[in-house]
Amino acid sequence: MRVLLTGGTGYIGSHTAVALIDAGHQVTLLDNFANSKPTVLDRLSEITGVTMDFFEADVTDREAIDSVLAHRAFDAAIHFAAPKAVGESIARPLHYFNNGVGGTVTLLQAMDRRGIRNVVYSSSATVYGMSDELPFREDAPTEVINPYGRTKLMCEEILRDLRQSDERWNSIALRYFNPVGAHPSGLIGEDPQGVPANLMPFVAQVAVGRLPVLRIFGDDYPTPDGTGVRDYIHVMDLAEGHVAAVEHLATEPGHDVINLGTGNGISVLELVEAFERVAGVPIPTEVVGRRRGDGPASWADATKAGDVLGWTARRSLDEMVADAWRWQSQNPNGYPD
Ligand code: WQD
């Protein structure tokens, strides 16, 4: 199949591009480089041996999207392009609604004009909010706790309404838990702008000497060791889940919502211990107060992905850490400009 990846040079998008090529599909990438760098394109060619079509464009730019979709006969789109920082969404809600929701609508309208109506949407476990009914099943109540989460839930509901209005549309919203790690080549990986908000890239930057100490946001949670528990999933497992989803849409019509997680909860201290053990590098830590908006625990009920897509996460925490460390140690300052 020929698949358009919006946000294709981003962290999840670039790894999904590799998984799609590995699975024998053709890939076109679209990105505005708001949260990624052009170097990713060279790295993708090096890994796959394929030079993928690339368009620098913004999903809110109707004319640009129309011309990209006119370029090839696409079978489907995987829509990653959206701002994704929870804290930023609280400070800049209109930017999130315009890009996260408006960009999705612009893309879907352009796809409709071209008769391309299979779409996989990048959603997030953040839509489960702070519920303590664990593990999170897809039919669990959703709870919006920030504008970022609201954009994810709104786009899921847009896709559901679209399918109900026109059965030519087929869509799957994938709710990611905590993607971490990197392609085993170490050529692509997670390269957050500025100081990382997320745990794994922060730990990796402490390990490589870019940051001095990991501040642990609270060790007084009702969890086994008091630190926050999350469902960390290897980004290559996540990428393969997207391949399974877009292939599923080709033969199974409808709209669905599916968790992409391992079903296992790992604490901050457990992840730090694994990193020190696998990388052989000490990670200085300091316990500080809880981070506003954090819940104690989150992990997936991952059975539906197995039942519907025939996909399950298979890479271990040690593999996640080893691959994250290989990327970071080979690219201490991330991608070059
Ligand atoms: C994980 C754990 C922190 C950093 C976020 C988004 C979510 C999704 C994934 C997009 C928590 C602790 C972290 C640090 C720490 N993104 N921590 N010190 O918050 O579960 O999810 O990223 O879809 O929407 O909310 O991930 O990696 O930030 O935190 O102690 O410097 O690590 O308290 O327990 P989170 P995270």
Question: DSSP string of 99-128?
Answer: IIIIHHHHHHHHHHHHT--EEEEEEEGGGG
Query: Is residue 225 situated within a structural domain?
Result: no
User: Which residue CA neighbors atom 7 of ligand 1 most closely?
Assistant: 126
The residues with which 232 forms a beta bridge, in sequence order, are 178
- Residue 148 annotated to the active site: yes
What residues contact 235, with CB distance under 8 A and at least 6 apart?
A: 11, 12, 15, 179, 180, 181, 182, 183, 190
Ligand 1 atom closest to 227 (CA): 34
Question: Tokens for 182?
Answer: 């990197």
The domain total for the chain is: 1
For residue range 232-265, list pLDDT tens digits in order.
999 999 999 999 999 999 999 999 999 999 999 9
Tens of pLDDT, residue by residue over 58-79, are 999 999 999 999 999 999 999 9
Would residue 168 count as lying in a domain? yes
- SS3 assignment, position 306: helix
pLDDT of residue 276: 98
Give the C-alpha separation, 125 to 153, whole Å. Answer: 10
> Is residue 212 situated within a structural domain?
no
Q: Domain of 153: which CATH number?
A: 3.40.50.720
Question: Please, what are the averages of pLDDT over each run of 10 residues along the chain (337 residues)?
Answer: 98 98 98 97 98 98 98 97 94 97 98 98 95 95 94 98 98 98 98 96 98 98 98 98 98 97 98 98 98 94 98 98 98 96
3-class state of residue 175 by DSSP: strand
Cβ partners under 8 Å of residue 250, min gap 6: 1, 75, 76, 118
Q: From the alpha carbon of 176, which atom of ligand 1 is closest?
A: 23
Where is 30: in which H helix or E strand? Answer: strand 26-31
pTM assigned to the model: 0.98
CA distance 207 to 220: 25
Q: How close is the Cα of 199 to the center of ligand 1, in Å?
A: 6
Distance CA 145, CA 127 (A): 8
Q: For residue 94, is it within any domain?
A: yes
Task: Give residues with Cβ within 8 angstroms of 46, minimum separation 6.
Answer: 185, 187
- Shortest-distance Cα residue to atom 9 of ligand 1: 178
How far apart are the CA of 217 and the centre of ligand 1, in A? 10
User: Longest C-alpha distance within the chain, in Å?
Assistant: 55
SS3 230: strand
Q: Which of 199, 232, 273 to mutate to test the pocket of ligand 1 (most atoms within 8 A of CB)?
A: 199
Q: Looking at residue 130, what is its pLDDT?
A: 87
Atom 24 (ligand 1): residue with closest C-alpha?
A: 126
Whole domain around residue 92: which residue ranges?
A: 2-179+233-262+301-313
86 CA from centroid of ligand 1 (Å)? 10
Asked, for residue 62, whether it belongs to a domain, the answer is yes
Select which of 11, 148, 221, 232 is catalytic.
Answer: 148
Identify whether 222 is part of a domain.
no
Q: In this structure, is residue 243 part of a structural domain?
A: yes
Closest listed residue to residue 300, CA positions, set 114, 175, 171: 175
Query: Is residue 130 one of the residues assigned to a domain?
Result: yes
